[in-house]
Amino acid sequence: MSCCFDLVIFDCDGVLIDSEILAIEAEVRVFTRHGLPVDAAFILDHCTGLSWKSELAFMEAWFKVTLPPGISAEAAQETESLLEARLVAIGGIEAVLDGLTIPACVASSSTPERLRLSLGKVGLYARFAPHIFSSTMVQNGKPAPDLFLYAAREMQAAPDRCVVIEDSVHGVHAAKAAGMTAIGFTGGSHCRSGHAQRLLEAGADRVIGGHDALAPALACPAVRARG
C-alpha cells in the first residue's frame, strides 16, 4: 500500500474493534441504575470518543448530580462482561494492517487495561504493541489534541505527516486540533444514519464506510485537501 503519510494513528473502539455499541449498552445500564434518564442515542450524541473520566464529568454537569465513586468499577465490570461475550474486530482491519508500508499506532480514550483486554481478545494487541497509547498518559483526553500529539512524539512523526482514523466527532476535533489529517470512519455497528455528515461537519477531511476504502484514502493526495 503506497502512502503519502509517515504515520497512521488508529482510534481503537469503533475503528479496530466493534466495541462502541457494547460500551454504550453497558453505560446505559449503569447510568439508568443510578437514576440518570439516558439511552443509547444520548450516549452516542454526547459521549462517544470521550475518556471515562471526561464522560463522568459531563454526566454530572449535565444532570447536576454527584455520582458515587463505585460507578467506575461497576461500569468497567459491565463493559468487560459484554466485551468478553460479544466483541469482534471490525471487518477488513487485518488486511489493512498487512498492507501498510508505514508505521501505525493506536491512540484511544480507553484505559491500558481495557486496550489489552479488548485488542487481545480479537488478536490485534500484538500487531500494535508497544505502540498503544491511552488517554491516561496525557493531561487532557479527546477532544483536546494531547493524545494524538503524544502518539506522534512517541512515534517520531511530525503532526502534519500523520493521519488519524476516527469514528467520533470528539476524535475528529482532537485530530484537527493536533494539525493532523482526519479520516472519519463509519464502519462500526454503532454508526447511525447521518454519521458521515456529522464527521465531515466536525472537520474530517474524508469519510470512509469500511476498511476496504482505507488504502485508497491513504494513498490519494485528495484526502489532504481540507487539512
Segment 132-147, tens digit of pLDDT: 999 999 999 999 999 9
Of 86, 120, 139, which residue constitutes the final position of a domain? Answer: 86
Q: What is the mean pLDDT of residues 24-28?
A: 95
Q: What is the mean pLDDT of residues 204-210?
A: 96
Instruction: Indicate whether 97 belongs to any domain.
Output: yes
94 and 54 fall within a common domain: no
Instruction: Indicate whether 187 belongs to any domain.
Output: yes
Instruction: Indicate whether 199 belongs to any domain.
Output: yes
pLDDT for residue 50? 86
CATH of the domain at 27: 1.10.150.240
Looking at the chain, the whole-number percentage of residues with pLDDT higher than 70 is 95
Instruction: Indicate whether 79 belongs to any domain.
Output: yes
Residue 20 predicted with pLDDT over 70: yes
151 and 97 fall within a common domain: yes
pLDDT for residue 107? 98
> Which DSSP symbol is given to 171?
H
Name which of 126, 163, 130 is nearest 5 in CA terms.
163
Q: Which residue has the cell 455520582?
A: 67
72 and 124 fall within a common domain: no
Q: What is the mean pLDDT of residues 102-120?
A: 95
95 and 78 fall within a common domain: no
pLDDT for residue 189? 87
Instruction: Indicate whether 2 belongs to any domain.
Output: no
- Counting Cα atoms < 13 Å in the Cβ hemisphere of 130 gives 2
Of 56, 71, 86, which residue constitutes the final position of a domain? Answer: 86
Helix spans in the chain (H): 20-33, 40-46, 52-63, 71-86, 93-99, 112-121, 125-128, 146-154, 169-177, 195-202, 214-219
178 and 121 fall within a common domain: yes
State how many domains the chain has: 2
Q: What is the pLDDT of residues 29-57, one digit of tens each?
A: 999 999 999 999 999 889 988 889 999 99
CATH of the domain at 186: 3.40.50.1000
45 and 145 fall within a common domain: no
Of 86, 101, 131, which residue constitutes the final position of a domain? Answer: 86
pLDDT for residue 51? 86
C-alpha to C-alpha distance for 207 and 198, rounded to whole angstroms: 10
C-alpha to C-alpha distance for 174 and 15, rounded to whole angstroms: 16
Q: And the C-alpha cell for 155?
A: 512515534
In the chain the first and final C-alpha atoms are separated, in Å, by 21
Domain that holds residue 30: 20-86
103 and 64 fall within a common domain: no
What is the model's pTM? 0.86
Residue 1 predicted with pLDDT over 60: no
Of 32-36, 50-54, 74-78, 113-117, the one with minimum mean pLDDT is 50-54
Q: What is the pLDDT of residues 172-181, one digit of tens each?
A: 999 999 999 9
Name which of 52, 203, 108 is nearest 116 in CA terms.
108
